Amino acid sequence: MLRHGTLRSTTWSPGRRRALAGASAAVVCLGAALGACAGSGGGGGYVAVGGAGRSGPVDASPTGSVTMVPLDGPKGGGTTSPGTAGSSSGAAGSGPGPAQAGNGPVPSTPDRPSPTGTSTGAGASPGGGSGTGDGRTTPAPAPPDPTPAPTAPPAPAALSWGEPVTADGDQRWCQKVTVGFRNSGGTAVRSGSVTFGTHVIGALGIDWSTVRTSEALPVPIGAGARTDHTWTVCLDAWRVPLGMHIETRDLSVQWK
């Protein structure tokens, strides 16, 4: 049996159509997200629509092993059991460092150069002296002066002599004469001569004449040295007649 009634027509404007399409898309996206979260637990796709059987905080501890991966090292390392997150398998409460995570050799750290470019060893002070261990610095000794001090020139030779000592010779016109010399200077006597004054004496002691003869000095005579020398002084035989003799009384010396 057909009933007649009033038929209401609905007119959709463009604005209402866009709003309805947007709401439908939001519902679809929300349903998809809830389904994905429910399916990741491995127990089937269920969406919670009501309150849980109990109220209070939910235990969010992991149910499997957790692998710790350092941010600045390679992957790998120990695993921790549930409830011990943040500690490694080797030592609790301390994670591996950057060099220990890869189990490789620890790189050595180069020594920093000193500000002056050279290393000052233990006990050395910057000023060149040596440290004494109590904060005091002992200055380095001054280097010796390479220039030798000027030396005074040696003193010249200074020769002196004593009185002649005479003795009779083998002939009446010969006589042995000994003279002592001493050089008190700073340089040796290298050359020189001695001149004897020989007197001819008569039988009554009268000095008839004086004859001079020269002989060489006994050189060298060193500085501060003393020496005695004996000469045989002879005159011509005709100068000393029979009954006369000779006496050498005086002498003079030249040297250099």
Q: Name the band, by pLDDT with cuts 50, 70 and 90, for residue 89.
A: very low
C-alpha to C-alpha distance for 175 and 200, rounded to whole angstroms: 12
pLDDT of 102-154, one tens digit each? 455 555 555 555 555 444 444 444 545 455 556 677 777 877 767 777 888 88
Report percent pLDDT > 70 for the chain.
48
Q: pLDDT at position 196, please? A: 97
Average the pLDDT over 175-189 and give the result: 96
Q: What is the pLDDT of residue 83?
A: 46
Q: Is the pTM of this model over 0.85?
A: no
- Cα-based distances in Å from 196 to 14, 156, 237: 167, 25, 17
Point out the least confidently predicted range of 82-91, 95-104, 124-133, 194-203.
82-91
| pLDDT the model gives residue 72 | 66
> What does the pLDDT average to over 42-46?
49
pLDDT at 245: 94
Model confidence at 200, pLDDT cuts 50, 70, 90, reads: very high
Residue-level pLDDT at 113:
54
Structure confidence at residue 57 (pLDDT): 59
Residue 58 has pLDDT above 90, yes or no: no
CA distances from 42 to 45, 82, 103, 211 (A): 8, 19, 37, 157
Most confident range, picked from 16-25, 39-48, 172-181: 172-181
- 79-80 and 66-67 as β-strands: parallel, antiparallel, unpaired? antiparallel
Cα 80 to its chain centre, rounded Å, is: 56
Q: Say which residue, 179 or 35, is predicted with more confidence.
A: 179
Q: What is the pLDDT of residue 21?
A: 63
The residue ranking higher by pLDDT, 197 or 26, is: 197
178/248 Cα distance (integer angstroms): 10
Asked whether residue 51 carries a pLDDT value surpassing 60, the answer given is no
Q: Which of 74-88, 101-115, 163-177, 230-244 has the lowest mean pLDDT?
A: 74-88
pLDDT band at 63 (very low <50, low <70, confident <90, very high): low
Inform me whether the pLDDT recorded for 180 exceeds 70.
yes
Q: Residue 75 — very low, low, confident or very high, per pLDDT cuts 50/70/90?
A: low
3-state secondary structure the chain: CCCCCCCCCCCCCHHHHHHHHHHHHHHHHHHHHHHHHHHCCCCCCCCCCCCCCCCCCCCCCCCCCEECCCCCCCCCCCEECCCCCCCCCCCCCCCCCHHHHCCCCCCCCCCCCCCCCCCCCCCECCCCCEECCCCCEECCCCCCCCCCCCCCCCCCCCEEECCCEEEECCCCCEEEEEEEEEECCCCCECCEEEEEEEEEECCCCCEEEEEEEEEECCCCECCCCEEEEEEEEECCHHHCCCCCEEEEEEEEEEEC
pLDDT at position 20 is 60
